[in-house]
Structure 1
Amino acid sequence: MGQLANLGRLLLMCLVLLPTVGLASEYPPEVTAKSAIVMEVSTGKVLYGKEAAERRYPASTTKIMTLITALEYGKLDDVVTASENAASTEGSSLWLTQGEQLKMLDMFYGIMLISGNDATVAVAEHIAGSVENFAKLMTDKAHALGAVNSNFVNTSGLPNENHYTTAYDLAKITAYGYKNPLFSQIVSTQHKIVPWPGKDHDRDLYNENKMLWLYDGANGVKTGYTDAAGRCLVSAAKRNGTQLVVVVLDSDHMWDDSIKLLDYGFAQLKQVPVISQGDILKTVKINEGKTGDIKLLATNDISVPMADNEHDKYSTVIDAPNKLNAPITSGQKLGTVKVMYNNIEVASSDLIADRSVEKKSFFGLLWGSVWGFLTHVIRNFA
């Protein structure tokens, strides 16, 4: 009897718990962050937001913008010399000494893995002459990306009342960063050895972003903390071709908040095939060819992250001529197809010729002209 009672209680618990599993993906989770957002990278689609447009201090998540700006204005092979100003920068550090030299790329790893404030100053001074000049480049770039509620006055995120951003802006900035393969590589690196001139050992850097170990598919990006900003985290993960960015600002439990939001974001989307490699997307007429037309084939598969009931937000645009002159070579690129989300390009594929077409010989062209003339005459006569 006792065993039956226990079994009954177990079944009842299962019945109570089963609906909860569905609710976790159906309803947005409760998070402790004052501001938060979930964004899908390719479309910029916002899947969740909480005070996402409210200005806040970003702390060291600032360094995402620092890295993007440095990648676009700097040269990876440049040797950067740490000034006295850089070496004496307060806060988290790569332990640079005045006059120490490192390659730009090594500085980048020091900035993103262990949040080296000194390295951000050294890079800024090398590229723009001063932190102030570099910070202006950061702000201008952010505004160009649509992150218009951001203003940067330093490269590290140290507190300043004029240094601010929003959860939405940080997500927008980070989504842009993922267009650069080197950005993706750096922010997803768990461990890096960086030279330490003058020492008998190298710098052994482990990424402070625990999400790289905590979350399946995690591939970025940056932690941050100051008393003014609270605990901040920009995290990212890629699963089944879907890349998400999550921002939590001033969070009591930033790891838990980020995991909940990533889970929620992935539950809202599924990858839907739109184009398959080899699909015929257009037929093009061929002038002066032994064959009258060719077909244009897609060179790669395209799937898109889609939520329910938003098929009408996607469209395809084919950029290819209606007519071409022979000769044509099989596999020759003759156009592109773009997949658009609300008029924003999210994916593309080259379009290639399905076969070769030789140009007609002189006599073939002559006979074609004669035949065309005779056909015209016969039609008019009839």
Structure 2
Amino acid sequence: MKKPLQLCLAVTVTLLLHTGPALAQPPELTAKSAILIEASTGKILYDRRSQERRPPASTTKMMTLITALEHGKLDDIVTASEVASQTEGSTLWLAPGEQLKMQDLLYGVMLVSGNDATVAVAEHISGSVGKFAELMTAKAKAIGAVDTHFTNSNGLPDPQHYSTARDLAFIAAYGYKNPLFAEIITTPSRTMPWAGKDHEREIFNENKLLWQYEGANGVKTGYTDEAGPCLVSAAKRNGIQLIAVVLDSDYMWTDSIALLDYGFRQVRSQPYFQQGDVLRTIRVANGKTESIPLAVKDSLAVPVFEEGGVSDYHTVLEVPNRVEAPIRRGQKVGVVKTLFKEKEIAVIDLVAADSSEKKSLWSLVWTSLRSLVSNLMQYLA
């Protein structure tokens, strides 16, 4: 009777050893089109018809914000035109001739999706919404959002105004490179002047994931009859920045949370460099020491996925063959670039880990004489 029991135990142990934790199952979504990416690498973790062209509704305003930050000035005073004040849809309630700072208008664009604010911004920067939309489209193409075309700054319906879930995800990822973009989209509320009123204008962010989901830090809601409910959501945990896009979703909040949960089960953060790690030693010309070690100035952790691991990463060092003394400890000498496959994800300074003083005049003369004698002896030999 002992042998069958031992056999059962052996089989049980074998199964425990080889089965391991089950892989996370992709979520079931109601969205017609969706995608989930890790922002720094661009790694796609979930894809559902993500390259299908669709009306993006107010998710358009991510590119409005990016374009305004790159072409406008936050302290500029913007005057709302009659056209801006009469823009349909969601509004900041701008009156004709009302003046606000560009910065306040951009908060109005992203927190309450003010269509009138997008027109005021576009007209101030480019003279017209159409010309501003050309800037938006050109920037989208430069980012790599090649299936995107904008005709306006707010996402109101137009047959020639379209994007894809994939493009919107990569537009958001680009936006996070600008600290002001990240600051604006994560702001819960903002107070600004309201001309003609006896109180200030107070607005609140419509993205309820910001206070309902751990680590949520963006990005933009959207809705039109043509587009349906749309949401570009994002969250950051342990240095991992995820971006999810759902277009024409019956339950956009539930779909987005399911995607983000799924993503955080697929990726983890792993240290790649520790501050002070020495990556190379280079020669020092005319220094009291012949060489100095170069160390990374800052630590770096990278996203690691179920497949590939750190083998997906490699580094490129950009340093001179030698440096001229004197060199101070901590002085920048070069950089190390970290790439995920062929995509650059981080650039960190390489600094001198030691100091090297310049040789005295006598030392330089003696070194030159010794080199001359050595060369002469080789010649005579």
Q: Do both proteins adopt the same fold according to a TM-score greater than 0.5, normalized to the shorter chain? A: yes
Shift of 1:27: 1.7
State the alpha-carbon separation in 2 of the partners of residues 315 and 227 from structure 1: 46
Partner secondary structure for residue 301 of structure 2: strand
Question: Of 283, 295, 298, which residue of structure 2 is paired with 1:297?
Answer: 295
Shift of 1:377: 5.9
State the alpha-carbon separation in 1 of the partners of residues 372 and 150 from structure 2: 72
Q: Which residue of 2 aligns with 1:19?
A: none
Q: Which residue of 1 aligns with 2:133?
A: 135
Q: Which residue of 2 aligns with 1:352?
A: 351
User: What are the ranges of 5 or more consecutive residues in structure 1 without an aligned counterpart?
Assistant: 1-21
Q: Which residue of 1 aligns with 2:122?
A: 124
Q: Which residue of 1 aligns with 2:154?
A: 156
Shift of 1:48: 0.6
Q: Which residue of 2 aligns with 1:176?
A: 174
Q: Which residue of 1 aligns with 2:227?
A: 229
Deviations 1:135-165 (A, max 9, x none): 1111111111110111111111111111110
Shift of 1:372: 3.2
State the alpha-carbon separation in 1 of the partners of residues 379 and 55 from structure 2: 80
Shift of 1:308: 2.6
Q: Is the 8 A contact 1:302 1:348 kept in 2?
A: no
Q: Which residue of 1 aligns with 2:262?
A: 264
> Normalising to structure 2: TM-score of the pair?
0.92
Deviations 1:74-112 (A, max 9, x none): 111100101000001110000000000000000000010
Q: Is the 8 A contact 1:147 1:172 kept in 2?
A: yes
My pick for the range that moved more, 121-130 or 194-203, is 194-203
Q: Which residue of 2 aligns with 1:334?
A: 333
Partner secondary structure for residue 111 of structure 1: helix
Matches within 5 A, 1:37-76: 37-76=35-74
Deviations 1:295-336 (A, max 9, x none): 111110011101033233210111111211111112111001
Shift of 1:373: 4.1
Shift of 1:376: 5.0
My pick for the range that moved more, 367-376 or 57-66, is 367-376
State the alpha-carbon separation in 1 of the partners of residues 87 and 79 from structure 2: 14
Shift of 1:380: 7.4
Partner secondary structure for residue 117 of structure 2: helix
Shift of 1:125: 0.6
Q: What letter is aligned with 2:371?
A: G
Question: Of 274, 279, 282, which residue of structure 2 is paired with 1:281?
Answer: 279
Q: Which residue of 2 aligns with 1:14?
A: none
Q: Is the 8 A contact 1:283 1:294 kept in 2?
A: yes
Q: Is the 8 A contact 1:237 1:245 kept in 2?
A: yes
Partner secondary structure for residue 326 of structure 2: coil
User: What are the ranges of 5 or more consecutive residues in structure 2 without an aligned counterpart?
Assistant: 1-20
Partner secondary structure for residue 283 of structure 2: strand
Does residue 95 of structure 2 align to residue 97 of structure 1?
A: yes
Partner secondary structure for residue 26 of structure 1: coil
Q: What letter is aligned with 1:131?
A: V
State the alpha-carbon separation in 1 of the partners of residues 165 and 41 from structure 2: 17
Partner secondary structure for residue 218 of structure 2: strand
Partner secondary structure for residue 145 of structure 2: coil
Identical positions, percent: 59
Deviations 1:315-371 (A, max 9, x none): 011111121111111211100111111221111211111222111122111222233
Q: Which residue of 1 aligns with 2:6?
A: none
State the alpha-carbon separation in 2 of the partners of residues 123 and 93 from structure 1: 13
My pick for the range that moved more, 108-117 or 307-316, is 307-316
Partner secondary structure for residue 294 of structure 1: strand
Does residue 135 of structure 2 align to residue 147 of structure 1?
A: no
State the alpha-carbon separation in 2 of the partners of residues 325 and 86 from structure 1: 60
Deviations 1:140-197 (A, max 9, x none): 1111111011111111111111111000000011100000000000001111112111
State the alpha-carbon separation in 1 of the partners of residues 369 and 118 from structure 2: 74
Q: Which residue of 1 aligns with 2:13?
A: none
Q: Which residue of 1 aligns with 2:80?
A: 82
State the alpha-carbon separation in 2 of the partners of residues 309 and 229 from structure 1: 35
Partner secondary structure for residue 356 of structure 1: coil
Shift of 1:277: 0.2
Matches within 5 A, 1:212-223: 212-223=210-221
Q: Which residue of 2 aligns with 1:238?
A: 236
State the alpha-carbon separation in 1 of the partners of residues 285 and 137 from structure 2: 52
Q: Which residue of 1 aligns with 2:318?
A: 319
